[in-house]
């Protein structure tokens, strides 16, 4: 939180917008500028975002069983750290969850307004984390993977769907780039939205970094085992492997983001995959209806229990910031 507050202090220095290149992420920095109280106020805002996200998930859920799905987000100490200290990540993932809900309604159920919601939510997510562009790309690839049968060879249909999804996010990035070029003469500016982010810097090298990122993504998937379980059940229920393959794409996006220098520690990755898993389960109605709903329910509850045990007692996710926070809080 001190990092965002320091970014805001940098933005307030100098004439006009001469320090605009150091203002990313703009939404958290703007909140820091307008809210009194410094880091404490930002922590309160982070908690409000986290609570609102959980409440929204429950509101969208068709079954009270969905309450159990939130256990990996509320029973793991690393999630207490993210939910109170990492404002950019919480803002980005909250709106990414909204975007995923809209995307599923748009692509799976044909609800047009869902596409607009997904596009706008991705644009807001970009204002806190540039990785939103990666997830917009993932959604477009998913459209082409799963839309062949639905659109029956009409290539313009999936292209139109992708345009609806991507345009707001790309427009947001383009506007930000233009402002940087106009007022600072610098592009793309400094996109380091957190102390451990070194965007487009390939901090571990190109080839070695790619290998390390893939290994780390596999480890993240083991910790967040609710996600692969949800992907498998969705593929079974939809009777097509392409849905399961499509749900592997966010994991690859995590690996690419880590490779490029985004701040995706095991704690951040656990949070991201768990939120996405809960969203996928709720939006695909795995708990509320269907012939095999009781089987699905008990499989998912078992996955939730296993994930909590792994994340708390066996192989907990860690990061530099979380370790320091836990030491200060618990000694």
Angle at 318 between CA 313 and CA 324, to 5 degrees: 110
Task: Provide CB contacts within 8 A for 39, sequence distance 6+.
Answer: 1, 2, 5
Spatial distance between the Cα atoms of 312 and 330, rounded to a whole number of angstroms: 15
Share of the chain above pLDDT 90, in %: 30
At 301, the pLDDT band (50, 70, 90 cuts) reads very high
Q: Is the peptide bond before 291 cis (omega within 30 degrees of 0)?
A: no
pTM of the shown model: 0.90
Residue 230 has pLDDT above 80, yes or no: yes
Give residue-wise pLDDT tens across range 122-163.
Answer: 999 999 888 899 999 988 888 877 665 566 666 677 788 888
Give residue-wise pLDDT tens across range 92-111.
Answer: 999 998 998 888 888 777 77
Give residue-wise pLDDT tens across range 34-49.
Answer: 888 788 888 999 999 8
**What is the CA 121 to chain-centroid distance, rounded?**
11
Supply the pLDDT for residue 223. 92
Spatial distance between the Cα atoms of 78 and 324, rounded to a whole number of angstroms: 11
Spatial distance between the Cα atoms of 213 and 217, rounded to a whole number of angstroms: 6
Give residue-wise pLDDT tens across range 52-105.
Answer: 888 888 887 767 788 889 999 999 999 999 998 888 889 999 999 899 888 888
The average confidence (pLDDT) of the chain is 84
Task: Provide CB contacts within 8 A for 16, sequence distance 6+.
Answer: 183
- Ordered by start, the domain boundaries in the chain are 2-320
Residue 305 has pLDDT above 90, yes or no: yes
Supply the pLDDT for residue 150. 63
Supply the pLDDT for residue 149. 58
Q: Specify the residue for token string 């644009």.
A: 123
Task: Provide CB contacts within 8 A for 212, sequence distance 6+.
Answer: 204, 258, 259
Task: Provide CB contacts within 8 A for 141, sequence distance 6+.
Answer: 246, 249
Phi-psi region of 159 (alpha: psi -120 to 50; beta: other; left: phi over 0): alpha
């Amino acid at each position: 939180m001190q990092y965002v507050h320091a970014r805001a202090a940098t933005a307030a220095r100098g004439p006009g917008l001469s320090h605009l290149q150091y203002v990313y992420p703009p939404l958290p920095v703007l909140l820091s500028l307008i809210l009194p109280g410094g880091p404490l106020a930002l922590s309160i805002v982070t908690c409000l975002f986290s609570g609102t996200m959980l409440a929204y998930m429950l509101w969208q859920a068709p079954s009270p069983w969905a309450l159990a799905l939130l256990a990996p987000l509320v029973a793991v100490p690393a999630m207490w750290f993210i939910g109170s200290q990492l404002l950019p990540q919480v803002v980005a993932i909250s709106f990414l969850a909204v975007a995923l809900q809209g995307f599923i309604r748009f692509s799976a159920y044909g609800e047009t307004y869902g596409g607009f919601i997904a596009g706008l939510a991705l644009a807001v997510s970009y204002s806190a984390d540039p990785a939103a562009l990666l997830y917009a790309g993932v959604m477009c690839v998913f459209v082409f993977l799963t839309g062949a049968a639905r659109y029956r060879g009409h290539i313009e249909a999936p292209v139109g769907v992708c345009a609806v999804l991507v345009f707001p996010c790309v427009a947001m990035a383009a506007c930000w780039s233009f402002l940087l070029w106009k007022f600072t003469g610098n592009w793309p500016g400094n996109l380091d939205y957190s102390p451990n982010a070194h965007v487009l810097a390939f901090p571990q090298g190109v080839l070695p970094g790619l290998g390390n990122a893939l290994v780390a993504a596999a480890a993240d998937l083991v910790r967040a085992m609710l996600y692969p379980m949800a992907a498998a059940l969705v593929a079974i229920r939809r009777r097509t492997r392409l849905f399961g393959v499509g749900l592997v794409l966010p994991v690859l996006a995590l690996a690419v983001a880590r490779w490029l220098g985004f701040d995706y520690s095991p704690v951040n990755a656990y949070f991201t995959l768990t939120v996405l898993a809960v969203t996928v389960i709720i939006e695909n109605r795995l708990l509320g209806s269907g012939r095999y709903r009781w089987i699905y329910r008990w499989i998912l509850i078992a996955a939730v229990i296993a994930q909590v045990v792994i994340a708390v007692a066996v192989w907990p996710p860690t990061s530099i910031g979380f370790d320091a926070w836990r030491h200060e809080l618990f000694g």
